[in-house]
């Protein structure tokens, strides 16, 4: 009994000690504090650049959606679909900025919620009586109402409207442009819905992006930079840990691998899920290595999380870097479409490619957890 | 100080009684509420994470369970057979409809219909195993949704009466008392002597830990005849275990009507979503309703065993988040007041989990749930006058307090108590009566500052 309590107390003292180490007490050299500062400042730059590209791409998609809705044609539909695919790439890279109560966490459920229950969206489209106007506000108020699958807005709601249900095993959804013409039942309504959802998505991304603009003393960036650097680093690490562990490894890879059910793949309508993994991991790499390749202009380069980690734990920093590369390599090797790759026996080439990504991400998660516990920061997946 | 040190000692099964041990307990209670399972995340995801010390293989099953917990079930037959079979009568399409983000649901505003809360009903008397006696037509709960073409059972409307309450320092506090109206009855009139009890869905954290506390430890906390004369006379509910076919200690549900997480999950799949499982192979309709409604089945059972097991594992393994700001002086003052007022006599701070065969990471943990899992008489004002097994109308299970302060973060509301009538911690305390009348009185006599400190402590959990 005494032993049990003593053990708990020891553990607590250890945690408290580590937190203090992380926050202040351990004497750190001027260079080390300077590097912390630079890593955090550069991170803010990198976040902003990623969100600016995300907003630009969403605006471009909104314009093409507008063209499709006002004059539906096969070409206009294809154009909007291509814009959606382009818009995903910067957004996916920004997902590494989630899970520490930053600006994205406030709106994420309106931006990237999944898996979408398409019947829910169809029921809103066809219910003229309850929803005479399909405005952005109406759609936002219906999002995640009475259940996490009741998703009415965001990238994946737009994806469903652009591609339609994923009924063909070998290809993406088979939406026809005629689904948006007024002669088709609810065609005009579907267009209205798509327009409102796409507009809301752009507005929400703009809101998130504004929080990271410099020169505003009251936005999130100002608060992020004003806190002690170790606290900001802790958030970066916490976000990466939770995103890699619970989200990517858990919900996005393990569940579809186990269920072999396309309902559990993130971008099922467009069959773009393999790219989700690739660009998500590029985002993780960006934070760790401090690089970002913007849509326009020269590459962003500066000290990343690994530069800071490498000071105290050079070996672990290298391991994190290597395991990101291994995960990226494995994700590139997933045989698309993802919903076919998860099928068949475990020896099938597709399943082996998914399994390899799963294994690589398991290693990456454990390295990030180790980084959390060694530095006393981040609490990546909650392990002490 | 002494009172709560006593509570800690009792909860640990005796053996530690020195002042030193009491001091040890203070710092212990400060943080790792779920022992080694505790997660350090206190964001919107705070209730949704796996136990921190869970191994790789169980993690995979955890996330499988999570996906089925969150997804919508659909009408049978459907192309995706693993998730069809909803209804024909149901309250929700998914677990997450009410346990949103694995958190707590809320009652509707005054004058509106239930959507994420539900109404239990029964007739006076008891069933074969001591359970509430179901209505012959409507069964034991109102299902307010149905598949297309099937009448739903009813709409449940809540109206609140405001009750001003004067505290000892002259402050007037507003309480609100719910009154329920059943409307749009789908299967004919209900009897006049119908008993009703409204329930919101509680947060899902730490359930496997509570399940792993040895029954003997809980029995040590029992004092049905109040032999220690402290005014508290808690006892375990004794409920029917479907799988074992015998009576066991009740642990889950607002009146501790369920003996295990497995049975709680099965009952919710069945009663709330109209889904059959190995444990509950029959649809939730009564025989009279079955004559009126025939629908395609989603398989036998509708929730396949592998899925069911994964959802149970998920429900048992959701981690408890760490306590926030334990060193805050206001909070510490509130903690002392909590103990002095006697709250901790039922909201027992510390329990231990036994060694368990499966999910071994939940075993042998020192945990801080702030519950004794016992039934206590909470007075006439909180009574639903609907007995369930050995719980009388006025008896309720002490709900765990861990995570209570994070409900606003996760679910965006502050509603507490079984029916969500309390609009925050202070109102919840003021509703306490019966055995808790003394503790409530102590709270009402406190200064405004002290009341705030006590509330702040509870919200730090």
pLDDT, residue B78, reads 76
| DSSP three-state, residue A337 | coil
Partners of A261 on chain B (C-beta within 8 Å) are 80, 82
- The answer, for A255 touching chain B at a CB cutoff of 8 Å, is yes
Look at A362 and B28 and tell me if their CB atoms are within 8 Å: no
- The answer, for B12 touching chain A at a CB cutoff of 8 Å, is yes
Separation between Cα atoms, residue B279 and residue B23, nearest integer Å: 46
Q: Taking a contact as any Cβ pair under 8 Å apart, which residues of chain B between 289 and 318 contact chain A?
A: none
Separation between Cα atoms, residue B371 and residue B222, nearest integer Å: 12
**Helix pair A305-312, A349-375: axis angle to 10 deg:** 60
- The answer, for A346 touching chain B at a CB cutoff of 8 Å, is no
pLDDT, residue B29, reads 64
> How sure is the predictor about A27, in pLDDT bands with cuts at 50, 70 and 90?
low
Q: Bigger pLDDT: A296 or A320?
A: A320
- Interface A-B, measured as beta-carbon pairs within 8 A, has a size of 129
Give A381's contacts (C-beta < 8 A, 6+ positions apart): A241, A242, A245, A246, A365, A369, B39, B49, B50, B52
Residues A225/A82, Cβ–Cβ less than 8 Å: no
Q: pLDDT tens digit string along A98-139? A: 999 999 999 999 999 998 989 999 999 999 999 999 999 999
Look at B64 and A11 and tell me if their CB atoms are within 8 Å: no
Nearest CB to A12 within list B30, B94, B97: B30
Q: How far is A72 from chain B (nearest CA, A)?
A: 30
pLDDT, residue B17, reads 35
> How sure is the predictor about A235, in pLDDT bands with cuts at 50, 70 and 90?
very high
In three-state form (DSSP H/G/I as H, E/B as E, the rest C), the secondary structure along A80-98 is HHHHHHHHHHHHHHHHHHC
pLDDT, residue A167, reads 83
Residues A145/B72, Cβ–Cβ less than 8 Å: no
Partners of A384 on chain B (C-beta within 8 Å) are 32, 36, 38, 40, 52
pLDDT, residue A261, reads 85
Region A344-353: mean pLDDT is 96
- The answer, for B81 touching chain A at a CB cutoff of 8 Å, is no
pLDDT, residue A26, reads 54
Separation between Cα atoms, residue B324 and residue B183, nearest integer Å: 43
Residue with tokens 């889950």: B252
Structure tokens at B255: 């009146």
Look at B80 and A12 and tell me if their CB atoms are within 8 Å: no
For the question of whether the overall pTM of this predicted structure is more than 0.95, the answer is: no
Partners of A234 on chain B (C-beta within 8 Å) are none
Separation between Cα atoms, residue B378 and residue A4, nearest integer Å: 34
Look at A381 and B39 and tell me if their CB atoms are within 8 Å: yes
pLDDT, residue A352, reads 97
- Taking CA–CA distances from B57, the nearest residue in chain A reads A254
Q: How far is A147 from chain B (nearest CA, A)?
A: 4
Residues A200/A136, Cβ–Cβ less than 8 Å: yes
Q: In which residue ranges of chain B is pLDDT below 50?
A: 1-28
Nearest CB to B40 within list A99, A146, A379: A379
Nearest CB to B92 within list A146, A246, A261: A146
Residues A166/A271, Cβ–Cβ less than 8 Å: yes
Positive or negative: CA dihedral B289, B307, B314, A261: negative
**Helix pair A187-210, A155-163: axis angle to 10 deg:** 150
Look at B40 and A384 and tell me if their CB atoms are within 8 Å: yes
Look at B70 and A148 and tell me if their CB atoms are within 8 Å: yes
Region A238-248: mean pLDDT is 94
Nearest CB to B116 within list A2, A146, A246: A146
Q: pLDDT tens digit string along A135-151? A: 999 999 999 988 888 99
């Amino acid at each position: 009994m005494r032993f049990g309590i003593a053990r708990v107390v020891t553990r607590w003292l250890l945690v408290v000690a580590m937190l203090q180490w992380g926050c202040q007490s351990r004497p750190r050299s001027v260079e080390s504090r300077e590097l912390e500062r630079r890593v955090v400042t550069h991170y803010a730059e990198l976040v902003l650049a990623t969100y600016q590209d995300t907003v630009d791409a969403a605006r471009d998609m909104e314009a093409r959606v507008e063209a499709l809705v006002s004059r539906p044609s096969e070409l206009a539909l294809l154009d909007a679909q291509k814009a959606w695919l382009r818009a995903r790439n910067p957004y996916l890279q920004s997902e590494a900025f989630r899970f520490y109560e930053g600006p994205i966490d406030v709106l994420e459920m309106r931006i990237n919620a999944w898996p979408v229950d398409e019947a829910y969206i169809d029921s809103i489209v066809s219910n003229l009586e309850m929803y005479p106007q399909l405005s952005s506000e109406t759609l936002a108020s219906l999002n995640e109402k009475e259940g996490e699958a009741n998703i009415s807005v965001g990238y994946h709601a737009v994806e469903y409207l652009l591609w339609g249900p994923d009924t063909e095993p070998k290809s993406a959804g088979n939406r026809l442009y005629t689904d948006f013409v007024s002669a088709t039942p609810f065609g005009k309504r579907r267009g209205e819905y798509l327009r409102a959802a796409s507009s809301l998505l752009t507005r929400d991304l703009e809101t998130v992006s504004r929080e990271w603009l410099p020169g505003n003393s009251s936005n999130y960036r100002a608060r992020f930079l004003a806190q002690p650097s170790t606290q900001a680093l802790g958030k970066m690490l916490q976000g990466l840990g939770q995103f890699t562990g619970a989200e990517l490894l858990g919900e996005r890879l393990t569940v579809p691998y186990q269920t072999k059910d396309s309902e559990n793949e993130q971008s099922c309508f467009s069959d773009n899920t393999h790219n989700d993994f690739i660009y998500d991991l590029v985002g993780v790499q960006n934070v760790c290595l401090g690089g970002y390749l913007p849509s326009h202009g020269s590459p962003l380069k500066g000290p990343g999380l690994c530069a800071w980690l490498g000071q105290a734990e050079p070996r672990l920093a290298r391991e994190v870097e290597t395991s990101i590369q291994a995960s990226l390599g494995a994700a590139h090797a997933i045989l698309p479409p993802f919903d076919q790759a998860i099928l068949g026996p475990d020896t099938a080439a597709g399943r082996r490619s998914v399994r390899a990504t799963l294994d690589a991400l398991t290693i990456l998660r454990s390295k990030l957890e180790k980084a959390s516990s060694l530095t006393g920061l981040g609490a990546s997946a909650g392990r002490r | 100080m002494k009172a709560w040190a006593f509570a800690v000692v009792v909860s640990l099964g005796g053996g530690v009684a020195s002042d030193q041990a009491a001091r040890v307990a203070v710092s212990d209670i400060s943080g790792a509420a779920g022992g080694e399972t505790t997660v350090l995340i206190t964001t919107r995801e705070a209730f949704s994470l796996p136990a921190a010390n869970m191994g790789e293989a169980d993690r995979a099953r955890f996330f499988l369970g999570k996906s089925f917990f969150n997804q919508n079930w659909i009408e049978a037959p459907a192309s995706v057979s693993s998730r069809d079979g909803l209804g024909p009568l149901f309250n929700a399409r998914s677990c997450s409809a009410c346990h949103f983000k694995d958190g707590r649901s809320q009652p509707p505003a005054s004058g509106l219909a239930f959507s994420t809360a539900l109404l239990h009903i029964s007739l006076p008397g008891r069933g074969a195993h001591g359970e509430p006696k179901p209505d012959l037509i409507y069964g034991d709960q109102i299902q307010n949704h149905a598949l297309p073409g099937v009448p739903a059972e009813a709409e449940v409307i809540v109206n609140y009466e405001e009750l001003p309450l004067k505290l000892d320092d002259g402050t007037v506090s507003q309480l609100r008392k719910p009154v329920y109206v059943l409307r749009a009855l789908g299967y004919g009139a209900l009897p006049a002597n119908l008993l009703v009890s409204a329930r919101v869905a509680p947060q899902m954290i730490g359930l496997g830990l509570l399940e792993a506390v040895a029954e003997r430890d809980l029995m040590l906390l029992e004092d049905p005849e109040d032999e220690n004369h402290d005014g508290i006379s808690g006892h375990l509910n004794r409920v029917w275990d479907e799988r074992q076919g015998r009576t066991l200690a009740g642990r889950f549900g607002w009146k501790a009507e369920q003996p295990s997480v497995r049975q709680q999950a099965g009952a919710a799949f069945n009663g709330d979503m109209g889904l059959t499982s190995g444990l509950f192979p029959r649809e939730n309709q009564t025989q009279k309703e079955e004559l009126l409604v025939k629908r395609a089945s989603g398989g036998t059972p509708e929730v396949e065993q592998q899925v069911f097991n994964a959802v149970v594992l998920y429900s048992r393994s959701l981690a408890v988040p760490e306590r926030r700001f334990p060193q805050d002086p206001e909070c510490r003052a509130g903690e002392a007041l909590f103990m002095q007022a006697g709250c901790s006599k039922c909201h027992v701070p510390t329990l231990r989990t036994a060694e368990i065969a499966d999910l071994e990471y939940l075993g042998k943990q020192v945990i801080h749930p702030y519950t004794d899992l016992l039934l206590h008489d909470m007075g006439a004002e909180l009574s639903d006058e609907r007995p369930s097994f050995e719980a009388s109308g006025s008896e309720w299970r002490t709900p765990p307090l861990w995570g209570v302060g994070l409900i606003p973060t996760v679910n965006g509301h502050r509603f507490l108590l079984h029916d969500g009538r309390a609009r925050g911690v202070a109102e919840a305390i003021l509703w306490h009566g019966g055995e808790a009348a003394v503790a409530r009185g102590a709270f009402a006599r406190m200064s405004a500052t002290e009341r705030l400190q006590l509330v702040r402590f509870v919200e730090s959990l």
